[in-house]
Structure 1
Amino acid sequence: MSPRVVSEGDRRRRRPTKQGAVLSQRLIIDTALRLVEQHGADALSVRRLGIALGADPSALYRYFRNTDDLLLALADEFIGRSLEGWEATGDWRTDLRAMGLRIHHSYHGQPQAALLVAHRTTGRIHETRAVETILGILRDGGFPDPLAVRIYHSFADQALAFAAQDAAAAALPPAAAEADAEVWRQAYGPLPAATHPHVAATYPLLAADMSGSGYPFALELMLTALETLHPDGAGGGRRDR
Structure 2
Amino acid sequence: MAKPVVPEEARRRRRPTKNGSVLSEQLIIDTALRMLREHGGAGLTVRRLGIALGADPSTLYRYFSGIDDLTLAIGNVLIGRAMAGWKATGEWRADLRELGLRIHAAYLGHPQAAVLTASRVTGKANEVTADETILGMLRTAGFADADAVRIYHAFIDQSLAFAALDAASLALPAAARAADEEVWQATYARLPADTHPHIAATAHLLVGRMNDSAYPTALDMLLDSAATRLGRS
Fold equivalence (TM over 0.5)? yes
Q: How does 1:56-205 map to 2 (within 5 A)?
A: 56-205=56-205
Q: Which residue of 2 aligns with 1:221?
A: 221
CA distance in 1, matches of 2:224, 2:186: 36
Percentage of pairs with the same residue: 59
Under a length normalisation based on structure 1, what TM-score does the superposition of the two structures give? Answer: 0.94
**Offset at 1:59?**
0.8
**Offset at 1:12?**
1.1
Q: Structure 1 residues 13, 189: CA separation in 2 closer, same or farther (over 3 Å shift)?
A: same
CA distance in 1, matches of 2:25, 2:227: 42
**Offset at 1:7?**
3.3
Q: Which residue of 1 aligns with 2:36?
A: 36
Q: Is the 8 A contact 2:18 2:55 kept in 1?
A: yes
**Offset at 1:190?**
1.3
Aligned residue for 1:189, secondary structure, equals helix
**Offset at 1:67?**
1.1
The structure where helix makes up a greater share of residues is 2
**Offset at 1:111?**
0.4
Which amino acid letter does the alignment assign opposite residue 43 of structure 1? G
Which amino acid letter does the alignment assign opposite residue 120 of structure 2? R
CA distance in 2, matches of 1:37, 1:187: 31
CA distance in 2, matches of 1:10, 1:184: 56
CA RMSD of aligned residues (A): 1.2
Q: Which residue of 2 aligns with 1:5?
A: 4
**Offset at 1:5?**
1.3
Aligned residue for 1:114, secondary structure, equals helix
CA distance in 2, matches of 1:147, 1:27: 41
CA distance in 1, matches of 2:219, 2:31: 33
Runs (4+) of structure 1 exceeding 6 A deviation are none
CA distance in 1, matches of 2:25, 2:44: 15
Q: Which runs of 5+ in 2 are unaligned?
A: none
Under a length normalisation based on structure 2, what TM-score does the superposition of the two structures give? Answer: 0.97
Give per-residue Cα distances to partners, 1:187-230, cap 9 Å, x unaligned.
11111111111111111111110020000011011111111110
CA distance in 1, matches of 2:224, 2:4: 48
**Offset at 1:233?**
4.1
Give per-residue Cα distances to partners, 1:36-57, cap 9 Å, x unaligned.
1100112211111111001111
Aligned residue for 2:20, secondary structure, equals coil
Q: Which runs of 5+ in 1 are unaligned?
A: 235-241
Give per-residue Cα distances to partners, 1:9-56, cap 9 Å, x unaligned.
531111001111100000000000000110011221111111100111
Which amino acid letter does the alignment assign opposite residue 56 of structure 1? D
Which amino acid letter does the alignment assign opposite residue 97 of structure 1? R
Which amino acid letter does the alignment assign opposite residue 19 of structure 1? N
CA distance in 1, matches of 2:21, 2:216: 41
Q: Is the 8 A contact 2:6 2:63 kept in 1?
A: no
CA distance in 1, matches of 2:199, 2:211: 16
CA distance in 2, matches of 1:7, 1:180: 46
Give per-residue Cα distances to partners, 1:104-140, cap 9 Å, x unaligned.
0011111011101100000000000000010011111
Which amino acid letter does the alignment assign opposite residue 228 of structure 2? T
CA distance in 2, matches of 1:223, 1:136: 16
CA distance in 2, matches of 1:114, 1:6: 24
Deviates more, 1:186-195 or 1:3-12: 3-12
